[in-house]
């Protein structure tokens, strides 16, 4: 079967010229693509008091964060390093949303020093903050209602370590009221990489109904409702892109019907996408080392699962473009593998590709989120460089590749 094509933001000649003086593997991100995704998201939800908080965990690089800042985004942080990165990128106050779990006190202290919005994963943390630090004027709680919202990745939420059940949600808001908190947020992350609009709309309906119940029971008008991230991207070329304008209009109807028509003060709408923004705009460029023909045909490349973990961890599919070769001419079926001492170090399995040989250049698509950021150093593998393909069509280094000296720098010989 003919493999459908995915487009690249640069021409084959542009990347081949760049490769003449650049060592593979490396990541490259499309600046124009990232900006356009943010503009599209903001345009779709322009009817609301809307803010996108880019999920730092997806692509934790200051150049990427600066782009999101210039486009009016805040940042969603989940650790000390992400808070520091946000601070260094110039974010502060309510432009930082701190959603963590199993959180050390030092990280709360850092978040409070930046006047970030705290989104609590456990109501047990309320008294800890009250006794050891302080509670700010605005606090949010992460809600886990249990059940299944039809999402294959998250599945049954009762198996999730994140968020609090309904009874704790109500207890938490009561406790925050008692301690003098004046403004409240509601957060939930109930779907991930979702391509079914119905499931995304269902999440919004559920959270709006929850907000109405909170108003009836506690008299609280929420300052914001954070619908989480979860918008999916079409990793496979035959998958369809989400129609976020349709999704937005359906959510708008629910917002008006459940919240406005029942007299609630209109809450802000927050989202915290990473994958939707940077995912389709990142590429891993790698070179073929060896072709091995044994029980199967194996393509050995200079990247491995330490560079791109998702296929080994999630069985994730990433489309592959082979530069200067057409699938129609001659093709073979390969496992595309790295050099790690693990048999799951396979970036593609039983993949039909143009007939390959040593020196060919492969480009993995849709790796701009949770790609480089999930890298590691097993077998002493070094983290690769990152480049930005700028709006003026230049390749700009935004992270150098690790060296052997970097790898040994924390050891005491």
Q: Which residue, 252, 376, 261, is CA-closest to 313?
A: 376
Tokens for 207? 């959270």
Query: How many whole angstroms separate alpha carbon 387 and alpha carbon 63?
Result: 10
Query: How many whole angstroms separate alpha carbon 135 and alpha carbon 113?
Result: 12
Tokens for 347? 């970036």
Query: How many whole angstroms separate alpha carbon 290 and alpha carbon 314?
Result: 25
DSSP code of residue 158? G
DSSP secondary structure string for all residues of 202-250 = HHHHHHHHHHHHHHHHH-PPPSEEE----B----STTSPPP-HHHHHHH
Query: How many whole angstroms separate alpha carbon 230 and alpha carbon 193?
Result: 5
> Mapping DSSP to helix (H, G, I), strand (E, B) and coil, where does residue 97 land?
strand
Q: Which residue, 21, 27, 117, is CA-closest to 63?
A: 27
Q: Answer for the pair 173, 126: CB distance below 8 angstroms, yes or no.
A: no
Task: Give per-residue burial for 239-267: e unless 16+ CB within 10 Å, then b.
Answer: eeebebeebbebbbebbeebbeeeebeeb
Tokens for 168? 């704790």
Pairing of strands 320-322, 183-187: unpaired
Residue 341 a catalytic site member: yes
DSSP code of residue 133? S
Q: Is the dihedral of CA 260, 76, 230, 168 positive or negative?
A: negative
Q: Answer for the pair 403, 392: CB distance below 8 angstroms, yes or no.
A: no
Q: Answer for the pair 235, 366: CB distance below 8 angstroms, yes or no.
A: yes
Per DSSP (E only), the strands in 229-325 are 268-271, 282-293, 297-301, 320-322
Q: Which of 2, 238, 330, 341 is catalytic?
A: 341
Query: How many whole angstroms separate alpha carbon 328 and alpha carbon 326?
Result: 5
Residues forming the active site: 341
């Amino acid at each position: 079967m003919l493999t459908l094509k995915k487009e690249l933001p640069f021409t084959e000649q542009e990347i081949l010229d760049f490769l003449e003086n650049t060592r593979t593997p490396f990541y490259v991100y499309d600046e124009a693509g990232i900006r356009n995704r943010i503009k599209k998201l903001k345009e779709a939800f322009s009817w609301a008091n809307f803010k996108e908080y880019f999920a730092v965990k997806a692509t934790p690089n200051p150049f990427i964060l600066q782009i999101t800042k210039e486009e009016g985004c805040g940042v969603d942080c989940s650790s000390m390093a992400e808070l520091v990165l946000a601070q260094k990128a110039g974010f502060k106050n309510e432009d930082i949303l701190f959603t963590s779990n199993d959180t050390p006190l030092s990280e709360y202290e850092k978040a409070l020093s930046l006047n970030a919005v705290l989104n609590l994963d456990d109501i047990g943390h309320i008294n800890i903050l009250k006794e050891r630090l302080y509670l700010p004027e605005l606090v949010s709680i992460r809600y886990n209602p249990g059940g299944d919202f039809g999402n294959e990745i998250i599945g049954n939420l009762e198996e999730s370590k994140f968020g609090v059940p309904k009874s704790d949600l109500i207890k938490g808001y009561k406790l925050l009221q008692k301690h003098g908190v004046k403004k409240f947020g509601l957060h939930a992350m109930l779907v991930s990489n979702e391509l079914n609009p119905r499931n995304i709309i269902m999440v919004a309906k559920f959270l709006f109904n929850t907000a109405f119940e909170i108003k009836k029971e506690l008299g609280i008008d929420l300052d914001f409702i954070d619908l989480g991230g979860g918008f999916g991207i079409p990793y496979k070329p035959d998958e369809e892109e989400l129609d976020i304008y349709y999704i937005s209009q359906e959510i708008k109807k629910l917002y008006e019907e459940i919240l406005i028509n029942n007299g609630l003060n209109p809450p802000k709408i927050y989202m915290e996408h990473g994958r939707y923004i940077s995912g389709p705009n990142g590429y891993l460029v790698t070179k073929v080392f060896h072709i091995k023909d044994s029980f199967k045909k194996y393509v050995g490349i200079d990247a491995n699962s330490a560079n791109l973990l998702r296929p080994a961890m999630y069985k994730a599919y990433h489309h592959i473009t082979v530069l200067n070769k057409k699938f129609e001419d001659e093709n073979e079926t390969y496992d595309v593998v790295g050099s790690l001492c693990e048999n799951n170090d396979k970036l593609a399995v039983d993949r039909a590709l143009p007939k390959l040989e040593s020196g060919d250049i492969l480009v993995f698509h849709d790796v701009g989120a949770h790609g480089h950021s999930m890298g590691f150093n097993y077998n002493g593998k070094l983290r690769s460089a990152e480049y930005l393909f700028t709006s003026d069509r230049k390749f700009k280094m935004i992270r150098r590749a690790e060296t052997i000296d970097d790898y040994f720098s924390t050891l005491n010989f």
